[in-house]
Amino acid sequence: MRAIAAFSLTICFSLLLTGCGGETTSKKSEKKAHNHAHDDGEAHGDHFTNNPHKIELKDAPFNALWGHAGDLVSFTIVDNDYKEEMPIKADSVLVVDVGGKNKFTVPALKKDENGMACEFELESEDLEATLDSKPTFSVTVDGKTYSTTVLHVH
């Protein structure tokens, strides 16, 4: 009888440690869980490490990358070679659908003491769906607006 009790206790403890395999993550914890730390101390979205989507901003001294994790859509401003993050002085970026009916203001995730940011995020199912239909992406820096059509190519 003692062996059965010990076995049962071991099984319960194992299940407690490993979980039952069910999906219990909420939307808010998914949003927080999509980030991971880098050597520079900053947090960047995991979706950029695998297959980011490029946004070429002609005539701009920078370009952008975008990705999504579910309904969480992230944009990162990068150099023209798409290799290094490039902070800009902007509060948000703008995405507008083809008809101009839906406009999404995507706020800066975190700005430094000079008001510079390179990451912009918005949790929106509608924005994520809009990115499939060639919307316009634009950002205004120092009074100059840079914009282009977003092509979502897989």
In a domain, 149, yes or no: yes
pTM reported for the whole predicted model = 0.68
Residue 76 lies in a domain: yes
DSSP annotation of 91: S
Q: Is residue 6 part of a domain?
A: no
Q: How far is CA 111 from CA 42, 73, 89, 97, 117, in A?
A: 12, 18, 9, 26, 5
- Count of domains for the chain: 1
List Cβ neighbours of 67 (8 Å cut-off, separation of 6 or more).
45, 47, 48, 51, 52, 53, 73, 74
- Structure confidence at residue 46 (pLDDT): 44
Q: What is the sign of the dihedral through the CA atoms of 114, 120, 56 and 98?
A: negative
What is the per-residue pLDDT across 17-70, written as a single tens digit (0 to 9) for each? 333 333 333 333 333 333 333 333 334 444 344 578 999 999 999 999 999 998
Q: What is the pLDDT of residues 104-151, one digit of tens each?
A: 999 999 999 999 999 999 999 999 999 989 999 999 999 999 999 998
Q: Find the CATH number of the domain harbouring 148.
A: 2.60.40
Condensed to tens digits (0 to 9), the pLDDT of residues 30-43 reads 333 333 333 333 34
In a domain, 92, yes or no: yes
> Domain of 111?
47-154
100 domain-assigned:
yes
In this structure, is residue 42 part of a structural domain?
no
Residue 113 lies in a domain: yes
Query: Residue 64 falls within a domain, yes or no?
Result: yes
